[in-house]
Structure 1
Amino acid sequence: MEALKIEIVNPKALTLIKGMQELNLIKISEEPTSKLKSYLKKMRKNADTAPDVDEIAEIVEEVRAARYAKK
C-alpha cells in the first residue's frame, strides 16, 4: 500500500475521490496537524516574512534557559 498527500485544488475532484472511496478503491484518513503548525500557517498568510519552526524553537529555548537560570 502506498500513502500520498493530496491537495485538492478543484472542489469537483473531491466528489471523484469520495466516489473512489465508496467503491473501496481508496481509503481516506485525516492527517493530524499540530496546533502550532496550523497557527503558523495562518499567521504566514498575512506576513511578508515569518520565522520557521526551527527559529521559533531556538527562541523558545533561549527564553526557557533565561527563565530557569534565575531560580
Structure 2
Amino acid sequence: MSSLNIEILNPKAKKLLQDLAELKLISIRESSENPFLAVVKRIRTKKAELSMEDITKEVEIVRAKRYAKKG
C-alpha cells in the first residue's frame, strides 16, 4: 500500500475521490496538521538546552564583533 498527499484544485475531483472511496478502491483521511507547524515542532524538539553561561558567552562574542566593526 502506498500513500499520497493530494491537493484538490477542483471540487469535481473531490467528488471523484469520494466515489472511489465508496467503491472501496481508496481510503480518504483528512489531515488537520499543518505541515509547517510539524517542521517547527521537529526543530524545537531538537534544539539543545543552553545554560545562562552559554547564552552570556554568545552575547559577549556578538557584542565584541559588533563594536570591533565600529572602532
**What is the TM-score with the length of structure 1 in the denominator?**
0.48
**What is the TM-score with the length of structure 2 in the denominator?**
0.48
**Larger-gyration structure (1/2):** 2
**Higher RCO structure (Cα 8 Å, ≥6 apart):** 2
